[in-house]
Amino acid sequence: MVRLGKAQTPAQAAGEILHRAARIEDTFHRWRERRGRKRGLTATIIPYSSYGTTDWARVLCRVVLTRGTEASKKRAENVRGWRSFFSIPVNDEVVTVTIGGRAVQLTPGRGGVIDKQVDVALEPGWQTATLDSAGSDATITHIFVVDPRATFGIISDVDDTVMVTALPRPLLAAWNTFVLDEHARRPVAGMAVLYDRLARTNPLAPVVYLSTGAWNVAPTLTRFLRRNLYPRGAMLLTDWGPTHDRWFRSGAEHKRESLRRLASEFPRIKWLLVGDDGQHDEKIYGDFATSHPDNVAAVAIRQLSTREAVLAGGRSTSTERERESSIPWLYASDGARLAVELRELGLVDD
């Protein structure tokens, strides 16, 4: 068994001093953890779907305290909205990850989140890893191992791209954080069918849902995607709260870093980038397409309705760079219309 140690942020690895807000948050969480353990709460591991290659797997999960009963563990995974942010994160629990016949030990970083790459030989397709810790029952996480032959993949935004948000942008983060209930959301028309057609046309393609939402709501989003028949995929969210250098982390920077990482990890894959025209996706995808043109097959932008655009604070405007780009930029109001344009590119079968 190999122990890889605690997941560290780049700032921690470099020895940077944490922002004052982050130090306050860490102190508060340690106090809550001590109180929780005195009340008999035990560690529970919440798994998140991830991805990997035939040589390594990216392990994503979160460790929180619950009462240790089966019912409390299910509540920890199924809790939605503001309640998910009252869970007590744990960052000193040793988690044993068993995958591909290899066992490694990991400990969470800030917020109780484990995000670690484990070297292991795996077969392409969906694989499972077992996660357990002392005093906690084992749980299973699912990892999509990308076939070395894969040359196409899908990266999709979530809010206003696969699910209708219809909220003012200043309230979006608060809604996702404290109110989100997958039953109160409706899917964007035609997008689930489009993604299913893309997956059937490109059976080796990895699917990644890239959102600025917090890990706390990952189970809620996963249930929404599953109930509305979106294809299975890895979920890349972000840790909520202060970072090492600011009060709140940047959702846009989270997306940029994730795109750069995926391009580095899968240099042979050209990604279809799917988002909406509510301010940021076009800019983020445009910058990525300019810096990594060999990693972008096309950019598909779902155009918001007039009401949605007003609530979003307007639409982003196409730049000269996008109009002159050699990479196709597609615009439509729903999945059916985007499918027509993607079919002309050969990315979707008739």
pLDDT tens for 248-267 read 566 789 999 999 999 999 99
pLDDT higher than 50, residue 159: yes
Q: What is the mean pLDDT of residues 165-188?
A: 61
Same domain, 159 and 219: yes
Helix, strand or coil for residue 183? helix
pLDDT higher than 70, residue 177: no
Same domain, 161 and 266: yes
The predicted model scores a pTM of 0.83
pLDDT higher than 50, residue 295: yes
pLDDT digits (tens, 9 = 90+) for 5-28: 554 443 444 444 555 655 665 665
Same domain, 195 and 220: yes
In a domain, 286, yes or no: yes
Backbone angles phi, psi at 153, to 5 degrees: -150, 170
In a domain, 349, yes or no: no
List the domain range (segments joined by +) for residue 126: 2-34+41-145
pLDDT higher than 70, residue 313: no
Kind and range of the H or E run holding 61:
strand 56-66
Which pLDDT score is estimated for 12?
46
Q: What is the mean pLDDT of residues 288-317?
A: 79
In one-letter notation, the amino acid at residue 190 is G
Same domain, 18 and 114: yes
Tokens matching residue 318? 């196409």
Which pLDDT score is estimated for 244?
47
- Give the closest residue to 45 by CA, choosing from 72, 19, 73: 73
Residue 323, C-beta contacts closer than 8 angstroms, at least 6 positions apart: 329
In a domain, 350, yes or no: no
Helix, strand or coil for residue 251? helix
Which pLDDT score is estimated for 86?
58
Among the candidates 119, 145, 171, a domain finishes at 145
Confidence of residue 246 (pLDDT cuts 50, 70, 90): very low
188, 237, 282, 345 from 241: Cα distances, Å: 29, 13, 25, 41
pLDDT digits (tens, 9 = 90+) for 197-235: 999 999 999 999 999 888 878 888 898 899 999 999 999
Q: Please give the residue that has the higher pLDDT: either 65 or 125.
A: 125
Same domain, 228 and 93: no
Tokens matching residue 282? 């076009």
pLDDT higher than 50, residue 49: yes
Which pLDDT score is estimated for 11?
42
Confidence of residue 183 (pLDDT cuts 50, 70, 90): low
Which pLDDT score is estimated for 257?
95
Same domain, 134 and 242: no
Among the candidates 112, 145, 178, a domain finishes at 145
Same domain, 312 and 275: yes
The domain spanning residue 271 has which CATH number? 3.40.50.1000
pLDDT higher than 70, residue 92: yes
Region of 314 on the Ramachandran plot (φ > 0 left; ψ -120 to 50 alpha; else beta): left
In a domain, 305, yes or no: yes
pLDDT higher than 90, residue 242: no
- Domain count for the chain, please give it: 2
Among the candidates 145, 168, 183, a domain finishes at 145
